[in-house]
Structure 1
Amino acid sequence: MIEFWLSAGLLLLAALAFLLLPILRGRRQQAEEDRTALNVALYQERIAELAAQQAAGTLDAAQLAKGRDEAARELLADTEGAEPLRQGHLGKALPIVVALLVPLLGLGLYLHYGAADKVELTQEFAQAPQSPQDMISRLERAVQAQPDSVEGLYFLGRAYMAEQRPADAAKVFERAVALAGRLPDLLGQWAQAQYFAANKQWTPQLQALTDEALKADPNDVTSLGLRGIAAFEQARYQEAIDYWQRLSLQLPEGDASRAALQGGIDRATERLKAAGGKPVEAAKLTVRVELAAALKDKVKPDDSVFIFARASNGPPMPLAAKRVSVAQLPIEVELSDADAMLAQMKLSDFSEVQLVARVSRAGQPTQGEWIGQGAPIPSRGQGLQHLTIDRPDQ
C-alpha cells in the first residue's frame, strides 16, 4: 500500500500546482493592470490639458487634433505587449481554500468509492497462504469485495469442500449458479455439496441437478463421480462401476485420481460378486474410418467428419459420437459410454448398434454430403471395426 499512497501523493501535488498557479501568476498580471491604468489616466489628463489650451486660445483646431494623435500614439506604445485585462477576479483566498479542500475531498471520495481493500487483497494474494484457513479467509474477503465474481465464489466453494464445510459450499455454489446460469460444472458442484451436507442422502433434487448437468455435458466429472458415490452407497454397484468407468476415461494418463477411482471400481466389483451379481462388461467399440479414393477430390481438408454409433432398433439419436476432420482420415477412434450424447442413452444400454461416419461441410452431425455405414454389431466384445465413407448422404 505504501507505493499506492506515494503515487496518490504525487498526483495530488500535481493537482495543487494547477490550482495555485493562478495565484503566482496573479501578481504579474496585477502589475500589468496597474501600469495600464496609470497610462490611461495620463492620457486622459493630457487630453484635458489640450482642451483647456484650445479654450484659452493657445491652440487652434489643427494643433488640438495633432496633440490628441500624439497622446494616443504614446498610450498605444505604453500598453503594447501587455497581457489582456482579466474579465473576472477570483481573488487570492478562493484558490487557496480550494487547494486545501481538494485533497480532503479526494481522500473522502476515495475512502467511500475507492478500492483500497481490493488493492490490499491483490498484494496479499501475490503471497502464498500460510494455511488452508488463511486461504479461506482471503477468498471470503475477495467475495465480499466482489460479490458478483463467479470465479471467486467457485474457488471459495471448493475451499469449503476441502475443509469439510459442505453446507457453506452449497450456499456459495447456489449463488454462483444464480449469477452465471446453470452451467454443468456449477450444477455438479452444487449437487455434490448438498449431498454431503445432507449426510449422503440422495434426493429427487440431486437427481434433477445431475441429470441437467449430464444432459448439457455428458462428461461432467463432478456429476459422474457423485452419481457413482450415490450408487455405491445404495448398493447399486453396477451403476457405480459404470459411472466411475466413464469418469476414469475423462482423466489424463498418470493422474493420481485414476488409481483412487480404480480402487473404488474394484471394491464395487467385489461387492457385486459377493451379492451374487456379475459385472457387466463395459461397452466399447474401436473403429477405423477411411475415405473412398473416389471422394478425395470432392471434399475439403477442414470438412467435419462425425463418427458415431446408434441403436440398430431404437431412436436415431447417436449413443456415442466423436468429431474429426477430413484431414485426419484415415483415423482409428474408440467409442464408449464416455462419448454418450445423453446420460440416459448410453452405448451399454443397447445390445446391438450400427456404426456411421458422415462428412458434413456445414458441421451438422445429422446431415451432410457423404456417408459410410456398417452392418449391425453387438455393442460389446468386438474387435477393430472398419468403416469407409463411400456414397452420397441422402
Structure 2
Amino acid sequence: MIDFWLAAGLLLLVALSFLLIPVLRSRRAQLEEDRTALNVALYQERVAELQVQQQEGVLDAAQMDAGRAEAARELLADTEGVAAPRVTRLGKAAPLLAAILVPVLGLGLYLHFGASDKVELTREFAQAPQSMEEMTRRLERAVAAQPDSAEALYFLGRTYMTQDRPADAAKIFERTVNLAGRQPELLGQWAQAQYFADGKKWSDKVQALTDEALKADPKEVTSLGLLGIAAFEGQRYQEAIDYWNRLLEQLPPDDQSRIALQGGITRASEKLVASGGKVAQAPAAKPAALLKVRVDLAADLKAKVQPGDSVFIFARATSGPPAPLAAKRLTVADLPATVELGDGDAMMPQLKLSNFPEVQLVARISRAGQPTAGEWIGRSQPLASSTTAPQQLTIDSPDK
C-alpha cells in the first residue's frame, strides 16, 4: 500500500507544479519590472543633473548631448533581456487557492469513490494467512468491501461455523440466501447454523429450512444429517437410519466423520430392534463422479499472462451452492494441461460432484492468486456430472 500512496503523491506534485510554477514565474517577472523601474529613475535623475550643469555653464550643448547619450546607453544595457510584463486575469490568489484545493478535493473524492480497501485486500489475499483469526478478518473485510458477493458471504459463514460462532453464521447464511436465492445447500447450512445457535433445539424454522432444501435436492447432505438427529430424538429410528445412510454415501472413504455417523446408525438400529422393529436394507451407493478436462489458453492471451500466474480449475453446480465442488490449482507455465476433477477433490465432504446432476467447468487466471477473482476466465456449457467423455476448456475471456 505504501507504493500506491507514493505514486499518488508523485502525481499530486506534478499537478501542483502546473499551478505553482506560474506563480513563481510571476514573482520573478515582478522583480525584473522593479529593477527596470529603478534603472529608469536613475536615468531620469542623471539627465536632470546634466541639465543643471548645462544651466550653470559647466557643460556646453555638445557635452550635454554626449552625457545624455551615455546615460541612455547605460539604461539600455541594464534593461536588455528583460521580458515584457505578462498580463493575467487570475492574479496570484486563484492559483494558490487551487493548489490548496487540489489535494484536499483529490483525497476526498478518492476516499468516497476509490477502492483502497479492495486494493489492500487483493494484496493480503496474495499471501497465505497465518491463522484462522487472520483469515476471518480478511473475509469480514471482503464482505464489507463487497456486500453483494454471495461467495464471500458463504465462505465467511463457513468460517464462523468452524470457530463455533453459529449465531453469526446463521445471520450470514440468511444474507447469502437473500443474495444467491434459496439454493438447497445454502438452506441446509442456514438450518444447521440456526440449530446450533438455538442450543441444539429443533424448531419449526429449522424443520422448514431442511424440508425446503430436501424438496429441491433430496441429496442435500447438511439437511440429511440434521433430520437424522431430529428423527433419532423423536424415536423414529428407521427414519434416522435412512437419513444417515444417505449421508454416509456422500462422504469419502477416509472421512473421519464416517466413524461417528456409523456409530449413530448402529445405536439407532439397536434401539429399533429393541422396540420390536426391523432394520430395512440401505439402498446401493451411487458411483463416484469423475470429470476429465484439458485446459488451454487462447492464442491472443499468451502475450498478456505471466508464467507464474495462478490458474484455478474447478467445477461448480449450475443449480446449487456458489462454492466450487472440486478444484485444482496450476500455473500458466503448466498450460496446456489435463486434469481430473472428482469426488475426491471436493472442497468440503458434503459437496461432491456426484451430489449434483449438472455442473459447469471453469478455469480462471488470477495474478493475485485469488480464486474468486482474476483477469481472464474460461467457462464450459452445463454438463452432467456423470459425463465420462474428456472435455476441452479454453481460457479466452476477461474475468468480469
- Tell me the TM-score normalized by structure 1: 0.50
The gaps in structure 2 that reach 5 residues or longer are: 28-85, 288-353, 358-381, 383-400
Q: Which residue identity does 1:249 align to in structure 2?
A: E
Given that residues 154 and 176 in structure 1 are in contact (C-alpha distance below 8 angstroms), is that contact kept between their aligned partners in structure 2? yes
CA deviations 1:121-176 (Å, max 9, x no partner) are 44344444444334333333333333333223222222222222222221222222
Residue aligning to 1:103:
103
- 1:172 partnered with 2:162: no
Q: Which residue identity does 1:163 align to in structure 2?
A: Q
- 1:157 partnered with 2:162: no
TM-superposed deviation, 1:218: 1.9
Number of residue-to-residue matches in the alignment: 237
Q: 1:22 to 1:265 in 2, by over 3 A?
A: farther
- 1:244 partnered with 2:251: no
Matches within 5 A, 1:27-66: none
- Tell me the TM-score normalized by structure 2: 0.50
SS in 2 for 1:224: helix
The gaps in structure 1 that reach 5 residues or longer are: 28-85, 288-337, 342-362, 364-394
Partners of 1:199 and 1:276 in 2: how far apart?
32
- 1:233 partnered with 2:233: yes
Partners of 1:157 and 1:173 in 2: how far apart?
6
Residue aligning to 1:208:
208
TM-superposed deviation, 1:23: 6.9
Q: Which residue identity does 2:137 align to in structure 1?
A: S
Identical-residue share of aligned pairs (%): 69
CA deviations 1:261-294 (Å, max 9, x no partner) are 333323332333333322101234999xxxxxxx
Matches within 5 A, 1:212-361: 212-284=212-284
TM-superposed deviation, 1:237: 2.1
Partners of 2:142 and 2:252 in 1: how far apart?
32
Q: Which residue identity does 1:161 align to in structure 2?
A: M
SS in 1 for 2:94: helix
SS in 1 for 2:108: helix
- 1:119 partnered with 2:111: no
CA deviations 1:226-274 (Å, max 9, x no partner) are 2122222333222122112222223344444444433332333233333
Given that residues 157 and 173 in structure 1 are in contact (C-alpha distance below 8 angstroms), is that contact kept between their aligned partners in structure 2? yes
CA deviations 1:306-343 (Å, max 9, x no partner) are xxxxxxxxxxxxxxxxxxxxxxxxxxxxxxxx9899xx
Given that residues 20 and 95 in structure 1 are in contact (C-alpha distance below 8 angstroms), is that contact kept between their aligned partners in structure 2? yes
CA deviations 1:18-73 (Å, max 9, x no partner) are 5567779999xxxxxxxxxxxxxxxxxxxxxxxxxxxxxxxxxxxxxxxxxxxxxx
Q: Which residue identity does 2:182 align to in structure 1?
A: R
Partners of 1:13 and 1:218 in 2: how far apart?
64
Q: Which residue identity does 2:237 align to in structure 1?
A: Y
Q: Which residue identity does 1:115 align to in structure 2?
A: A
Given that residues 218 and 340 in structure 1 are in contact (C-alpha distance below 8 angstroms), is that contact kept between their aligned partners in structure 2? no
- 1:3 partnered with 2:28: no
Given that residues 250 and 355 in structure 2 are in contact (C-alpha distance below 8 angstroms), is that contact kept between their aligned partners in structure 1? no
Q: 1:267 to 1:95 in 2, by over 3 A?
A: same
Q: Which residue identity does 1:261 align to in structure 2?
A: L
Q: Which has the larger radius of gyration?
A: 1
Partners of 1:108 and 1:157 in 2: how far apart?
34
Query: Which shifted more, 184-193 or 231-240?
Result: 231-240
CA deviations 1:351-388 (Å, max 9, x no partner) are xxxxxxxxxxxx9xxxxxxxxxxxxxxxxxxxxxxxxx
Given that residues 177 and 183 in structure 2 are in contact (C-alpha distance below 8 angstroms), is that contact kept between their aligned partners in structure 1? yes
Given that residues 184 and 214 in structure 1 are in contact (C-alpha distance below 8 angstroms), is that contact kept between their aligned partners in structure 2? yes
Aligned-residue RMSD, C-alpha: 3.7
Q: Which residue identity does 1:118 align to in structure 2?
A: K
Residue aligning to 1:147:
147
Partners of 1:88 and 1:168 in 2: how far apart?
64
- 1:186 partnered with 2:224: no
Given that residues 238 and 272 in structure 1 are in contact (C-alpha distance below 8 angstroms), is that contact kept between their aligned partners in structure 2? yes
Q: Which residue identity does 1:251 align to in structure 2?
A: L
Q: Which residue identity does 1:3 align to in structure 2?
A: D
Partners of 1:229 and 1:116 in 2: how far apart?
47
TM-superposed deviation, 1:192: 1.0
Partners of 1:250 and 1:285 in 2: how far apart?
9
Partners of 1:87 and 1:242 in 2: how far apart?
93
Given that residues 169 and 193 in structure 1 are in contact (C-alpha distance below 8 angstroms), is that contact kept between their aligned partners in structure 2? yes
Q: 1:285 to 1:114 in 2, by over 3 A?
A: closer
SS in 2 for 1:102: helix
Partners of 1:251 and 1:26 in 2: how far apart?
80
Q: 1:234 to 1:116 in 2, by over 3 A?
A: same
SS in 2 for 1:97: helix
Question: Structure with the greater relative contact order (CA < 8 A, sep ≥ 6): 1 or 2?
Answer: 2
Given that residues 238 and 280 in structure 2 are in contact (C-alpha distance below 8 angstroms), is that contact kept between their aligned partners in structure 1? yes
